[in-house]
Amino acid sequence: MSNVSTLARAADDEQVKVIRKHHLMVRIAHWINVPTIALLMLSGLSIYWASPVFKIAVKDSPNGPQDLFAILGDWVIQHVPGQTGEGRNWFYDHFALGSGNLAKALNIHWFCAYLFMVIAVVYVSGLLLGGGYRALLPRASDFKESLEMIKYYLNVVPSFVLRKPNLHPTITSKYNALQRTAYFSVSIMGLLLILSGWAIHKPIALSWLQAFFGGYDSARAWHFLLMVSVILFVIPHVILVLADGWDCFRSMIVGWSDKVRINHDD
């Protein structure tokens, strides 16, 4: 195969297959996306502050339904020692670019949004040029393999504490089933984030796109929930990469992996 080379090592009469895993364009897009998505989330929350979508009814409130994050901020101010400030703004001042920064947040958000779209083109181009898109397509064996991987990941901490072996399931493809499902899904999320963002940004010119998401407020809700979905992807993504070991992390930096070992006689 053209994408596989073999590096001989004089240790235990073994060879290590050096497998090219990630195209250069995919790696560049991946690492530029890290700060870009972080800034999109921070600025997005500061924009959300100006006009919250998700509100809940509060008993005896003279102002009607209240912003969910404002309620959370009030609770923190009242119940967590050492916390000061205005309850309505506490969440946005700690997990966004700050309250009252709408103009600045909009400028940063749209700069990063355009950058994100450029990165998406680079990423997809890298997948196509390097053939990596094939590794993301769902397979018939994914369900069974997913169960094996879940069992492995759940045993990582117990096996470490108890000092017992936790054998990694044999994976013959570039990604295991859980990774394949997650990476495929987050790519769809990214596309929907871009589309819902344009539906919010150009609700008149792109009225058909706004209608696709169920209206302006619905498009904003979709945009927010998709952002939350990306956050829910990133957290286990980082944890599972650490669980998979250094080779998995290194491959996204240098583009190759040496995890597969074979005997000279094979």
Kindly report, residue by residue over 90-130, the tens digit of the pLDDT. Answer: 999 999 998 889 999 999 999 999 999 999 999 999 989 88
Tell me the percentage of the chain whose pLDDT exceeds 70.
Answer: 88
d(CA 106, CA 164): 51
Q: What is the pLDDT of residue 105?
A: 95
Following CA atoms 178, 180, 185, 186 in sequence, which dihedral angle do they give, to the nearest 10 degrees? Answer: 100
Neighbours of 101 (CB within 10 A): 19
Looking at the predicted structure, is the pLDDT value of residue 265 above 50? no
Asked if 187 and 229 touch (Cβ cutoff 8 Å), the reply is no
Tell me the percentage of the chain whose pLDDT exceeds 90.
Answer: 39
Backbone torsions φ then ψ of 24, nearest 5 degrees: -55, -40
Neighbouring residues of 154: CB distance < 8 A, sequence distance ≥ 6: none
Q: What is the pLDDT of residue 10?
A: 39
Asked if 152 and 169 touch (Cβ cutoff 8 Å), the reply is yes
Give residue 65's region: left, alpha or beta (phi > 0; psi -120 to 50): beta
Alpha-carbon torsion (132, 138, 140, 145), positive or negative:
positive
d(CA 66, CA 72): 10
Q: Is residue 70 part of a domain?
A: no
Q: Is residue 78 part of a domain?
A: no
Interval 220-244: pLDDT, tens: 999 999 999 999 998 888 877 777 7
Going from the C-alpha of 133 to that of each of 25, 26, 93, 123, 217, the distances in angstroms are: 13, 11, 40, 10, 34
Structure tokens at 119: 């990165």
| Total domains in the fold of the chain | 1
Q: Is residue 73 part of a domain?
A: no
End-to-end CA distance of the chain: 15
Q: Is residue 119 part of a domain?
A: no
For 249, the domain range is 4-23+131-263
> In terms of C-beta distances under 8 Å and separation of at least 24 residues, what long-range contacts does 183-187 make, across chains too?
183/136, 184/136, 184/137, 184/138, 185/233, 186/230, 186/233, 187/136
Q: Is residue 15 part of a domain?
A: yes
Q: Is residue 245 part of a domain?
A: yes
Q: Per-residue pLDDT averaged across 178-196, rounded? A: 91
pTM over 0.85: no
Q: Is residue 108 part of a domain?
A: no
Residue 259's pLDDT band (cuts 50, 70, 90): low
Q: Is residue 69 part of a domain?
A: no
d(CA 217, CA 214): 8
Neighbouring residues of 113: CB distance < 8 A, sequence distance ≥ 6: 40, 194, 197
